[in-house]
Amino acid sequence: MFVVFLDSQEVHCPIGVHDFERKEGVNLYISVQVTLNRHVGLDDLNHTVDYTLLVDIVNEQAAIERQLLESLAIDIQAAILAKSPSIIEKIHIRIVKPAIPHFGYAASACGIEYTFSNQ
């Protein structure tokens, strides 16, 4: 099996529970792993997922205002699946928010991970 991935695409996104986060935007790092359900034996882009497509989808979805990282992950997954549903077995998305507007926050980052299985 092959996994096509995008690692830590940096985006500035209007997302967050607080109004100022959505207004000013926050930096996120988004990673995507797409597991293909069959062996890629041909030198043909139609038998895989183009990682530049992953960049485009992440950038497009990150431009939409939302409150929750979970919603962003689900929308990224749906957009990827809409492009190549027959060859995708699994999609794993990791969204890292390096700063939280909360007093006393001492971690280097927070975020979510989401896995979708097409089986």
Instruction: Please report, in angstroms and rounded to a whole number, the separation of the first and last CA atoms in the chain.
Output: 15
For residue 44, the model assigns a pLDDT of 77
Closest CA to 89 of 40, 28, 30, 41: 40
CB distance 29 to 96 below 8 Å: yes
β-strand pairing of 110-117 with 26-36: unpaired
> How many beta carbons lie within 10 A of that of residue 89, not counting itself?
16
Domains and CATH numbers, the chain: 3-117 (3.30.1130.10)
How high is the mean pLDDT in each 10-residue block of the chain (119 residues)?
94 93 94 86 79 96 97 98 88 92 74 93
Instruction: Please indicate, yes or no, whether the overall pTM of this predicted structure exceeds 0.85.
Output: yes
